[in-house]
Amino acid sequence: MLIGLTGGIASGKSTVSRLLVKHGALLVDADQVARDIVEQGQPALKEITSFFGQAILHEDGSLNRAALGAIVFSDKDKLAKLESITHPAIRKRMLSTIERYKEENPNAIIVADVPLIYETNQMHLYEAIVVVYVPRDIQIERLAVRNDITQDVAASRVDIQMDIEHKKALADYVIDNSGSLEQTEKQVIEFIQRLVSV
């Protein structure tokens, strides 16, 4: 069974991912794949470099994320260009990993951690969508602490994203991560048991 996992910034998706794996699920992580496809020698890095120039590389030829970020986060068109290169490469790599998992483990629960599942209209790829949920004020608090930024800066980063309440309303399943780790793990176990018994 193929499950899409999403949530908002600082909602604890990686915590829930780890718990799902701990309890038997196989994970395909979009963030990890996004890092893999821009490694040296990968076609996506060559395409990015040919568009943005050598200034986005370190001396050793690896991607300088900070330099690239400085360019794209202040220019929507350039960000769109970067995404037009990376998104198809990420999707292709994820789908091939998912297919391999399905062949190797036909009865497995496969979880694809995709932060922008709703924003990029990928819901149809999954049999069910799980949203990792925490209320907005907790998102802001956790993000401020995690990234050592002010509450105002954290709030502006949270508010750039799709509203967490909207994601929660669209979800097939919700895992509320605003309590203790034990409470979250209990929900993960219940979720996996529900899937297994379907």
User: Is pLDDT of 144 > 80?
Assistant: yes
Report the CATH number at residue 118.
Answer: 3.40.50.300
Domain span at residue 13 reads 1-25+109-198
Q: Is there a contact between 16 and 191 (Cβ–Cβ < 8 Å)?
A: no
| DSSP bridge pairs for 28 | 112
Tell me the average pLDDT of the chain.
Answer: 93
* Alpha-helix runs per DSSP H in 124-174: 136-147, 151-160, 164-170
Q: What is the pTM of this model?
A: 0.84
Give the end-to-end CA distance of the chain in Å, rounded to a whole number. Answer: 10
Number of folded domains in the chain?
A: 2
pLDDT at residue 147, rounded to an integer: 87
Q: Is residue 98 part of a domain?
A: no
Mean pLDDT confidence for 154-158 = 87
167-177 per-position pLDDT tens digit: 999 999 999 99
Residues 193 and 121 occupy one common structural domain? yes
116-133 per-position pLDDT tens digit: 899 888 899 999 999 999
Q: Is there a contact between 138 and 98 (Cβ–Cβ < 8 Å)?
A: no
Confidence class of residue 115 from pLDDT cuts 50, 70 and 90? confident
pLDDT at residue 38, rounded to an integer: 95
Mean pLDDT confidence for 152-170 = 90
Burial code of 146-159, b = ≥16 C-beta within 10 A, e = fewer? eeeeeeeebbebbe
Residues 86 and 10 occupy one common structural domain? no
Q: 114, 135, 109: which is closest to 189 by C-alpha? A: 109
